[in-house]
Structure 1
Amino acid sequence: MCILFIANKMREDYPLIIAANRDEFYARPTAPSTFWDEHPNLLAGQDLEANGTWMGVTRNGNLAALTNVRDPQNINNNAVSRGELVANWLKQDSVDRSHAAQSQYLATLENTRSQYNGYNLLFGHVDALRVYNNVNNSTHFIEQGVYGLSNADIATPWPKVTQGVRALNHYVTNEDVINDDDLFGILRRDNKADDALLPDTGVGYEWEKALSSIFIQTEKYGTRTSTLLLVDKNKTLTWKERCFSDKGEILETREFSFSI
């Protein structure tokens, strides 16, 4: 996954809204979201190449989502797949939603940080979330507000992150009713950043430009799925996923809803 936006405690009707895109090579085998056979409380898609996932949630309200840190000069080809970090948090699903449980997992992340290429991991419970970055070994608590997270740390204002945060903040602040299509619309924005605002991550101008939009579409790589996670005031969680072709066409939409 390459970008996600979070509106936390901004509305009474929906205390948590997450809108996320997973960007990946089209050839990488992927299974769409479902409850996993061996972990029936775990809802997520699955990367069939490394058997991890990029975003998931459990019936108890634990969730996790991953973004890679873009740093081609420091790639370890023998590193452990980052997708297991999401799966590992969700597989140990517990009704324990305390900071102590998160702190214990955080200690594991800190102790193993060198085994993985750069990442950000959003994890916790729908009531208490944090983001860990293994590159700078930092933790950021998700308080009330609107956040964006892409392929740098949560404090880095890449143009597409700033655009999405502003759009989501305006939407949740001004609209009377939350509409899924409107949220998917934010994730579908494909305008590229101005050259002067492009980050320099070492991938070259053409790739920096192609990757500078919220929704990405290139010949071999692009946005494979868009996912919405909404938790309402009654603790009903709704998960909606759209899967896309290499032409940006919607292939499938899946929806799940359950009480936490």
Structure 2
Amino acid sequence: MPTASPASPRVLVVMPAWNEEESVGATVRSLRAAQPGIDVLVVDDGSSDGTAAEAARAGAIVCPLPFNLGVGGAMRAGYRYAVQHGYDVVAQVDADGQHDGAYLPELIAALDSADVVVGARFAGRGDYQVGFVRGLAMRLLAAVLSRLAGTRLTDVTSGFRVINRRALHIFATHYPAEYLGDTVESLVIALRTGCTVRQVPVEMRPRAGGRASQTPVRAAIYLARAVIALGLALVRRWPTTLEHPPKEHV
């Protein structure tokens, strides 16, 4: 159950994790040390290693999925858990240790003027580097979504973000499961349903465990998929407002 006091927003960190045994425990402990008043839900996305056990050992609530759904499916399960248990704010944090929990208060404070706040790597903090092709895709996506949002967004594929209750009820029902949908399409959904999106500059850390899988070929595939994902997100029809909140069950 939420541990925040009644006067404070109830905050849940949802951490999707697939075969992150090497890093998830340290990531959970780091979050709990930096922000002791929040709860951490690790959604074990059908892992074949000890991810669930390591997360539980570190003090997280664990939601095991029977098979791999991808980040979008794992996050939708997390959002439904948050609705069921009455949380006011939900943060998405990666299990590989790249997202620094010390930034969470700053991201949460920005919800005073937004429904979705993205922790942005390319907004003046740190020196996060990506390859040319992947960077090109990110800039293209950011340019289109900035126009849609009416504000400058530099890192629309960032998985480090927080949302309020308004966005939570939308995402618990409509959060996309497709590749890149959990980042790009989810922002389109938020904007099309009347939510306000803004960003806060953050510095991200190297992976705490495992290894990245980027190669020139995969970067090219990423670019193609990113363009397709954005195109599909823009042509799909979404309600201008959420007429009915989702049923509160996971």
The two structures share one fold, judged by TM-score above 0.5: no
Q: Higher helix proportion, which one?
A: 2
TM-score if structure 1 supplies the norm length?
0.29
Q: Higher strand proportion, which one?
A: 1
TM-score if structure 2 supplies the norm length?
0.29
